């Protein structure tokens, strides 16, 4: 393969990778907007705390 052919293949692969990342980010943004629109509040990216820890319980009393 000549350097020109390698450059063309690399350029196409890079372009496809960038398009894929942009498509994924746009889909995630739209999904978050749809979810926040249906629930009425924005979805937090933090993990929800399901169970209080023992230190939290001991501080209450």
Instruction: List pLDDT tens digits, range 2-15.
Output: 999 999 999 999 99
Q: Is the pLDDT of residue 41 over 60?
A: no
Confidence of residue 47 (pLDDT cuts 50, 70, 90): low
Cβ neighbour number for residue 24 with a 10 Å cutoff: 10
Domain assignment of residue 23, given as a range: 11-35
Judge whether 53 lies within some domain.
no
Largest CA distance in the chain: 75
Q: Across residues 26-43, what is the average pLDDT?
A: 65
Give the residue, 53 or 8, on which the prediction is more confident: 8
Judge whether 31 lies within some domain.
yes
| Cβ(43)–Cβ(32) below 8 Å | yes
Judge whether 29 lies within some domain.
yes
C-alpha separations of 9 from 2, 12, 22, 28, 38 in Å: 11, 5, 20, 29, 44
* Secondary structure percentages of the chain, helix, strand, coil, to 5: 70, 0, 30
Judge whether 27 lies within some domain.
yes
Judge whether 26 lies within some domain.
yes
- Summarize pLDDT for 13-30 with one digit per residue, the tens: 999 999 999 998 888 877
């Amino acid at each position: 393969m000549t350097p020109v052919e390698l450059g063309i293949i690399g350029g196409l692969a890079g372009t496809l990778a960038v398009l894929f990342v942009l498509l994924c980010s746009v889909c995630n943004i739209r999904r978050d907007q749809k979810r926040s629109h249906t629930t009425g509040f924005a979805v937090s990216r933090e993990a929800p705390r399901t169970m209080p820890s023992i230190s939290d319980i001991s501080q209450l009393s």
